[in-house]
Amino acid sequence: MSNAFKPIALTLGDVAGIGPEIIAKSFLEASDQIAGCVVVGDVSAMQRAIQVVHDAHPDQPRLSLLPLSRLQDLPRDVSALTVPVLPVSPAGVAATLPAWGRVSGVAGQWAADAVTWAAHAALRGEVSAIVTAPLHKEALAAAGVPFPGHTELLQACAAMHAGVAVSDMPVRMMLANDELRTVLVSIHVSLRDAIEAVTVDNILQTLRITHEAQLRATGQAPHMGVAGLNPHAGEGGLLGREELDIIIPALQQARAEGMWVSGPFAPDTVFMRARSTPDKRGEFDVVIAMYHDQGLIPVKYLGVDEGVNVTLGLPLVRTSPDHGTAFDLAGTGKASPASFLAALAMARKLAG
């Protein structure tokens, strides 16, 4: 594709969940924010979502039905008067749409197909960024997809494109909102495996990826506050030696490389210290958390409507909303697009 126009690709996610609905609602009520985007996924799933959102809000004229345009290829321009959808799954995968709110291998395969296509389009420079609607990990597994989530799938696509091993394409998950940013040392693994992943190399790699990503995004080196693994950051070895034997040596190496890092701090207070409010700037630009729930619970507690998931370390821009497929809401037209629109705004900023 020429450099005249590069759309942002919006992947539908699991079509049995709220992904298609929040994309439909974004087109129907926030057309100025979603201009220049192309939906990647199943056409009939998008049509169903548009109808559901329309039917759920009969008293709101602004949610009147928009026509859907089925694309054959990425466009050179995008009309604001249609919902452009580019189908990418092989024809005849399923005769009927997966039902709302149910785990489906078909939905899992469609979600993986959309992400894989969008990733390779971004790696070829045909789209400027990817914003992914939520997928369902059980549905991926039911489809036989050998990755537990978006991050690992995107990592594999990027590694294949670069002709390197997946281990040579390290990535990290950052969850961010206006008040707090946190990056995880490990992502979708069991808690037992997450503890084993707390190594000098993994922590140092996380710090390097975060430092480089934030430096590119802001032009300034970030101040990174590092959470301990154990309660009270180990209490000098009384509650565990990981801080003394692993985390502190990693921070010392990071400082020797010129990074601005502090810690390790007690996990139950470091996030409060990093939180920025209109009245007070946080002490740190980002918190490095040792495992998934340690880092994500504080950000999600502040509100999932504005949270954004950003994959760091990839040679492409990828963001997503800070929530899951919400099977209990799917098909009602009531799901909020706020986090999805926040993810889109973040993608535009990162893509420049």
Instruction: Work out the average pLDDT over 335-348.
Output: 93
Q: Can you spell out the DSSP letters for 190-256?
A: -HHHHHHT--HHHHHHHHHHHHHHHHHHHSS--EEEEE-SSGGGGGGGTT-SHIIIIIHHHHHHHHH
- pLDDT at position 352 is 78
What is the greatest pairwise CA distance in the chain?
A: 64
CATH 3.40.718.10 fits 178-302, yes or no: yes
Summarised one tens digit per residue, pLDDT across range 178-188 is 899 999 999 88
- pLDDT at position 90 is 64
Instruction: Work out the average pLDDT over 79-96.
Output: 72
Mean predicted lDDT score pLDDT of the chain: 91
- pLDDT at position 85 is 93
Q: Would the pLDDT of 71 be above 80?
A: yes
Q: Which of 45-59, 84-98, 203-217, 270-284 has the lowest mean pLDDT?
A: 84-98
Euclidean distance between CA atoms 147 and 151, whole angstroms? 9
CATH 3.40.718.10 fits 1-170+311-352, yes or no: yes
- pLDDT at position 79 is 64
Domain segments of the chain: what residues?
Answer: 1-170+311-352, 178-302
- pLDDT at position 1 is 44
- pLDDT at position 321 is 93
Model pTM score? 0.88
Q: Would the pLDDT of 272 be above 70?
A: yes
Instruction: Work out the average pLDDT over 1-15.
Output: 81
Instruction: Work out the average pLDDT over 135-157.
Output: 93
Q: Would the pLDDT of 291 be above 90?
A: yes
Displacement of CA 94 from its chain's centroid (Å)? 27
Instruction: Work out the average pLDDT over 158-175.
Output: 94
Instruction: Work out the average pLDDT over 228-242.
Output: 95
Instruction: Work out the average pLDDT over 279-299.
Output: 95
The more confidently predicted of residues 154 and 78 is 154
pLDDT-derived band at 66 (thresholds 50, 70, 90) equals: confident
Identify the three-state secondary structure at position 290. coil
For 40, residues 6+ apart whose C-beta sits below 8 A from its C-beta are 9, 10, 11, 12, 85, 86, 88, 114, 117, 118
Q: Say if strands 172-176 and 83-86 run parallel, antiparallel, or are unpaired.
A: unpaired
Q: Would the pLDDT of 236 be above 90?
A: yes
- pLDDT at position 217 is 84
Euclidean distance between CA atoms 322 and 320, whole angstroms? 7
Q: Would the pLDDT of 2 be above 50?
A: no
Q: DSSP letter at 277?
A: B
